[in-house]
Structure 1
Amino acid sequence: MALGNCYTCIKYLMFAFNFVFWLLGCAILGVGIWLRADESAADFLKDSSKIDTIYTLAYVMIAIGFIIMLIGFLGCCGAIRENQCMLGAFFVCLFIIFAVLLGFGIWAAAAKDSFRDYTSEMLEEGVKNYYKDEKQRAFMDSTQTYFNCCGYRNGNTDYNVVGEVPKSCDPDYYRKPCDDEFYKWIENRLVVIAAVAISVALVLILGMAFSMILCCAIRDTLA
């Protein structure tokens, strides 16, 4: 059914938006895969059962990215076919994803500060149980090797109460604690997650507006 020139323009703008939206889905999917498959951090990540949050965030972003790609295809079909049902479903899906991404991004931005104590406790527990727990030892060895650090807050002296300094501590970095380096690693990834999630959520507002305008135009032509 033919629409007026203005609404025809909106229809193709909607189609263009959905192509960009599909690309954003690819970007989110890519960030999720990057977080999950970061080979440089894989060793110390897999040795810690307490840092599963990063992997959980990665899986969530992979799922959201895949869903966005599918919804982008739905929006393209709805725009080209001028189908109210598809456009309505597209709007609802966008709103749900908007709410999820916005909340997800705000949480990631706010959570980075709370992770300071969390990472400190992880490392402190790792040092205290270094000679008691094999998993804690593997985690600390991987962390100290990856970040070129030692201990958690005071460097090699953190091990004075539990035994000798482990071999994974390079003598050149005895005075460099792992606390700050480990926290910065977590913080950087949470910042990326927050930036991507909030940016895409804001873009979705445009998509919702386009879909409603186009849906109303189609309804008016049927009246």
Structure 2
Amino acid sequence: MAVEGGMKCVKFLLYVLLLAFCACAVGLIAVGIWAQFILTQTIIQGATPGSLFPVVVIAVGAFLFLVAFVGCCGACKENSCLMITFAIFLSLIVLVEVAAAIAGYVYRDKVKLEFNKDFWQQMQNYRKNNHTAFILDKMQKDFKCCGAANYTDWETIPHMLKGQVPDSCCINVTQGCGTHFKVKEIHTKGCVEKIGGWLRSNVLVVAGAALGIAFVEVLGVVFTCCIVKSIRSGYEVM
């Protein structure tokens, strides 16, 4: 009786974890879509480690939702085959999350270099492409920055008048405020470092959340193994 009662408790906890997995899956998909939207508003082009991040997050979220569904079916029917499948897939998700965390750490400097390179490239096209100008202006306004490293970067850009920066560099943005400006009237810090700092702070939040999700997933694997062992031993867990 004590064993059966314990298994009922484990099964209840597994149901709670399955609901948590579904919530996490929806959250991951939402984060991936949000990250993809943010990237479309920036200047990173091509298949870079940074641009592939939203795709990986959405894929993991969708897969986790499917795995949670399999686990729910297995727990309801007390089917050891489905439960083992659930445990294996959940373990694979944990491994993917660990691999993604390692890849993020390894490529952190490369992503920054790519962003810096693309920022400079798009600065060259500031006067040639209205969409590029819109994106750069939005980034400079939102992050209160100017240029890649600092505001003097704009002096090297063709088609920009000497002593001129985009109006979006101004502290108080008005038409023509970037022409013959005073340094105290503009943001002087570069966008690459400012945006990099913003990304680092958000990565820490994401990393903490990922660590919590991974811990819950490991608990799910442990509970599933306990239930499978109970089913194979002939105990009733319902």
How much has 1:58 moved relative to structure 2?
A: 1.8
Q: Per the alignment, do residues 106 and 192 of structure 1 end up closer, same or farther by CA in structure 2, a change over 3 Å counting? A: farther
Alpha-carbon separation, structure 2, partners of 1:135 and 1:51: 20
Shift of 1:152: 1.4
Task: Specify which of 140, 144, 152 is matched with residue 144 of structure 1.
Answer: 140
For 2:154, give the aligned amino acid. Answer: Y
Instruction: Report the number of matched residues.
Output: 215
- 1:159 partner SS: helix
- Corresponding position: 1:87 with 2:115: no
* Counterpart residue identity of residue 214, structure 2: A
**Do the aligned partners of residues 94 and 150 (structure 1) sit closer, same or farther apart at CA in structure 2, a change above 3 Å counting?**
same
1:169 has 2:169 as partner: yes
| Deviation of 1:198 (Å) | 3.0
Task: Please provide the CA RMSD for this pair.
Answer: 2.9
Q: Which amino acid aligns with 1:195?
A: G
Query: Contact 1:21/1:69 (CA < 8 Å) preserved in 2?
Result: yes
After superposition, residues 83-162 of structure 1 pair within 5 angstroms as 83-128=79-124, 130=126, 137=133, 139-155=135-151, 157-162=152-157
* 1:60 alignment partner in structure 2: 56
Q: Any stretches of 5+ residues in structure 1 without a counterpart?
A: none
- For the structure 1 residues 109 and 202, does the alpha-carbon distance in structure 2 shift closer, same or farther, using more than 3 Å as the test? farther
- Rounded to whole Å, the distance in 2 between the matches of 1:200 and 1:10 is 19
Partner residue in 2 for 1:27: 27
Contact map agreement 1:106 1:198 (CA 8 A) in 2: no
Are the counterparts in 2 of residues 48 and 139 from structure 1 also a CA contact under 8 Å? no
Q: Which residue does 1:70 correspond to in 2?
A: 66
Q: Which has the higher helix share?
A: 1
2:32 counterpart SS class: helix
Deviation at 1:103, TM superposition (A): 1.4
* Other-structure match for 1:197: 210
Q: Distance in 1 between matches of 2:20 and 2:154?
A: 53
